[in-house]
Amino acid sequence: MIFSKQIWFIVFFFCQVFGQQIKPEISNLKIDIKQNGVFVQMKSSIPINIQNVTGWSTETGWFYITILNAISDSVSILNSIYKFPITNIQTANSEESTQIALRLERKVESFEFYQSDTPPEILLSLRFPVHEVFVQSKNDIQNNISSNSLYKRPDKSTKYKRIRTGLYLVGTSLTIAGAMDMDNSESMSWELPTGLIILTGTYFFDTILYPKLSQK
């Protein structure tokens, strides 16, 4: 009888120890930013009962996720990659649960948790108010139009440099061609004076006139 009680005590002890060790561990967060909200994948070591997961948001912009009978890998979660509108991630473990907090710069209108067993993970969908999504879409369109306008707008300085380079090349080519023709002919060809005029005119405009015109 005493031996039987000792066996049960040992079994109970190991059940308690291993029961603590096989708690689901949240090891990683994968955050996907959408136009109408945020989608969060919380990877777990073993499946989590969706009934043990709760969430709520505060007026200060924090959204809290509490998972009963689970723990979090704080280092891994704090190193999760995120971007606007999420500006901060915090996590804390206790004997009964683990808590993950997301700081958002946009208001959360609604949220919903989903469960996946293969692979084991909890999925969280955060949705923004419809009017904020509309305003954001309008701003994105305006920014794209502005960017395209700036991109298509001609750069006067670049165009001038291209024209100047072209004139120097044409003038040089004509001058060389005219000089080569003089070696084979007693008369001067039209290429030499034309090339010299282009080179002289371009140099005069580039060094004297253009700097003065640019200051106006």
What's the rounded mean pLDDT across residues 92-119? 91
Q: Are 111 and 63 in contact (CB under 8 A)?
A: yes
What's the rounded mean pLDDT across residues 165-174? 80
pTM, whole model, 2 decimals? 0.53
Task: Please list, in sequence order, all residues whose beta carbon lies within 8 angstroms of the beta carbon of residue 69, skipping any fewer than 6 positions away.
Answer: 23, 24, 52, 96, 97
Q: Which of 21, 13, 79, 17 is nearest to 45 (CA)?
A: 21
What average pLDDT is seen over the chain? 76
Q: Which tokens belong to 64?
A: 């809290």
What is the tens place of the pLDDT at every residue in 12-46? 444 444 444 468 899 889 999 888 889 999 999 88
How far is CA 91 from its chain centroid?
23
Amino acid letter, 1: M
What is the tens place of the pLDDT at every residue in 50-104? 999 999 999 899 999 999 999 999 888 998 888 888 999 999 999 899 999 999 9
